Amino acid sequence: MANSYFDIPEPIRIKAIEAGAPKLQLSITLQAAPEKAALGYPGKSAGDVLFNGAAGTLLVSLGEAPKMITDTFRVAGGSVGRWLVQNAAPSAEISVNNVNGFGIPNALAAFCEGLLLGVFKFERHKKASNSIEPFTVSVRAQNGLDGVETVVRRATILARAVNLARDWGHEPANVINPVTLAERAVALSERYGLKCTILDEKKLEEIGAGAILSVGKGSHQTPPRIIVLEYAGKNAAADAQPVVLVGKGLTFDSGGYSMKDTANMQGMKYDKCGAMAVLAAIAAAAELGVSTPIVAIIGAAENMVSSYAYRPDDLITSLAGKTIEIISTDAEGRLVLADCLTYAQRKYSARAVIDLATLTGGVVVALGRLRAGILSNNTALSEQLAAAGERTHERLWPLPLDEEYFQLLKSDDGDMKNSATVREAHPIVGGIFLRQFVEDTVPWAHLDIAGLADTPKDSAYCPRGATGFGVRLLIDYLENL
């Protein structure tokens, strides 16, 4: 492959220009839709555009004023970005005023994110297409360049991180497996000045990480890895406690011997998207100079069948020493995460542990593709994350974690089963399983992102494929600590 895996096309760049800079060829204006359809206005839906070639203007609808939220500006940005690329527009400029009370920099930040996120494409494996020249959208600063430059820089870093998570998330399992993912993590750590430790299968054996090893046994050519990245925090005190981010990195989930059928196996390359979010988030946090120290721990494995693979009925011993009776080899994510959570708590005195995982199909049944489930042992943490999700429009919804649910996982032969034998409360049972590996004193949250990690269809600022869900949410949470 000619491209390095860090070369993600950027069809649009954004820069700030002075209020008095010469006028550019195309000027973009955001405006709320009028109450009735009116001549000279774009449509009623946010993102509708109206181009006037003679005047050199592109009017962009923000939809009906009462319905506007910050995300409306992302939607508008996504729509403008795609219009500019499709129409190979020359130089374009925008000045974001205090639109309907949303104000700069909030609205501008969201607009810039949308602009850069909406034009992402996964075309790595296509024959060289007529690649368009990247062009620049200039943001005209009304009150000094500094403020706008800061907003543009932050939006660019965030969008690049999300697009990295999308690009890597989209790669199939013959390109990204636990071993090549570890190589990428090493490269990422060098690029962003992070400390990186890889626990390979020998090391995992040595420490007794029997849960992740069991999941990875069937893929003996691409054995599992625990990948650890550390960011020290900008000007952080020596004793500052890190936030530990844990990501499910199943580079492919066939289900193992509890095998998925054709329809359900399709798309299981996206079972690593929790890990991609965590990787991209720590890279962006380092680039932004977040003050909190951060650790990212990724459990990378491939769930395959072979004569080496683990089976239903197996009794395995996790890193924590707890034994697990395997009911379904398809409930593998929680096994991988269990060892990562144990490793996290042994190694670090975390102020919070947050895991992101495409853990259950059940969460998609419950919440669909609009909100991810959040399960937590700590209300404050859960609320902080949910608030971050509202701001970034990566929305969460709480599910309960009552200890009684553990009844469903009681095992006759081991300390617990990895899955219930009934089809009840799958996302909660997944959370309860993980909770067995978390100390009560450690604030912990589990985000079940199975419904949000990938999308079957294009939307305003998110094309079909891996979404990069969670990256902006995590950064927002970390910045607001």
Strands 57-64 and 26-33: parallel
What is the SS3 assignment for 421? coil
- Candidates 177-185, 188-196, 242-250, 466-474 — which segment interacts with Zn ion by CB under 5 A? 242-250
Q: Which is nearer to ligand BES, 160 or 269 (CB)?
A: 269
The least distance separating ligand BES from the CB of residue 448, rounded to whole angstroms, comes to 9
Q: Which of 250, 316, 327, 352 binds Zn ion (CB under 5 A)?
A: 250
Q: Report whether the peptide linkage leading into residue 178 is cis, meaning its omega lies within 30 degrees of zero.
A: no
| CA–CA gap between residue 128 and residue 301 (Å, rounded) | 32
The least distance separating ligand BES from the CB of residue 336, rounded to whole angstroms, comes to 9
Q: How many CB atoms lie within 10 A of CB 263?
A: 7
Q: Which is nearer to Zn ion, 333 or 470 (CB)?
A: 333
Alpha helix segments (H runs only) across 348-470 = 362-367, 379-392, 426-435
CB-closest chain residue to ligand BES: 361
What is the SS3 assignment for 334? helix
Question: What letter represents residue 200's amino acid?
Answer: D
Q: Which is nearer to ligand BES, 16 or 428 (CB)?
A: 428
Cβ contacts of 300 within 8 Å, gap of 6 or more: 178, 181, 182, 224, 225, 226, 227, 249, 250, 251, 272, 275
* Site for Zn ion contains 454 (CB under 5 A): no
Q: Per the structure block, which two tokens stand in for 116?
A: 């850069």
* Site for Zn ion contains 271 (CB under 5 A): yes
Q: Which does 216 bind (CB under 5 to 8 A by kind): ligand BES, Zn ion, none?
A: none
| CA–CA gap between residue 70 and residue 243 (Å, rounded) | 27
Question: What letter represents residue 55's amino acid?
Answer: A
The least distance separating Zn ion from the CB of residue 53, rounded to whole angstroms, comes to 50
Q: Which member of 74, 82, 225, 334 is catalytic?
A: 334
Q: Per the structure block, which two tokens stand in for 264?
A: 């359900």
* Site for Zn ion contains 253 (CB under 5 A): yes
Question: What letter represents residue 102's amino acid?
Answer: F
Q: Which is nearer to ligand BES, 338 or 364 (CB)?
A: 364
Q: Which is nearer to ligand BES, 359 or 462 (CB)?
A: 359
Q: Which member of 153, 260, 391, 464 is catalytic?
A: 260
Q: Which does 287 bind (CB under 5 to 8 A by kind): ligand BES, Zn ion, none?
A: none
Q: Which does 360 bind (CB under 5 to 8 A by kind): ligand BES, Zn ion, none?
A: ligand BES
Whether 260 is a known active-site residue: answer: yes
Q: Which is nearer to ligand BES, 62 or 429 (CB)?
A: 429
Distances, alpha carbon 198 to alpha carbons 17, 172, 271, 432, in Å: 44, 22, 20, 28
Q: Which is nearer to ligand BES, 309 or 350 (CB)?
A: 309
Whether 334 is a known active-site residue: answer: yes
The least distance separating ligand BES from the CB of residue 363, rounded to whole angstroms, comes to 8
- Candidates 11-19, 66-74, 109-117, 249-257 — which segment interacts with Zn ion by CB under 5 A? 249-257
Distances, alpha carbon 342 to alpha carbons 204, 297, 338, 345, in Å: 13, 11, 6, 5
Q: Which of 47, 63, 333, 389 binds Zn ion (CB under 5 A)?
A: 333
| CA–CA gap between residue 215 and residue 203 (Å, rounded) | 16
Give the footprint of ligand BES on this chain (CB under 6 A).
253, 271, 328, 330-333, 358-362, 364, 419, 426, 450
182: which strand partners?
A: none
The least distance separating ligand BES from the CB of residue 430, rounded to whole angstroms, comes to 7
The least distance separating ligand BES from the CB of residue 459, rounded to whole angstroms, comes to 18
Question: What letter represents residue 185's amino acid?
Answer: A
Q: Which does 201 bind (CB under 5 to 8 A by kind): Zn ion, ligand BES, none?
A: none
Q: Which is nearer to ligand BES, 123 or 313 (CB)?
A: 313
Evaluate whether 27 touches 58 at the Cβ level (below 8 Å): yes
B/e letters for 37-71, b = 16+ CB within 10 Å, e = fewer, are eeeebbeeebbbbbeeeeeeebbbbbbeeeebebb
Q: Which of 330, 394, 448, 454 binds Zn ion (CB under 5 A)?
A: 330
The least distance separating ligand BES from the CB of residue 51, rounded to whole angstroms, comes to 39
* Site for Zn ion contains 171 (CB under 5 A): no
The least distance separating Zn ion from the CB of residue 338, rounded to whole angstroms, comes to 14
448: nearest Cα among 382, 358, 371: 358
User: The tokens 């399960």 sit on which residue?
Assistant: 375
Active site residues: 260, 334
Give the footprint of Zn ion on this chain (CB under 5 A).
Answer: 250, 253, 271, 330, 332-333
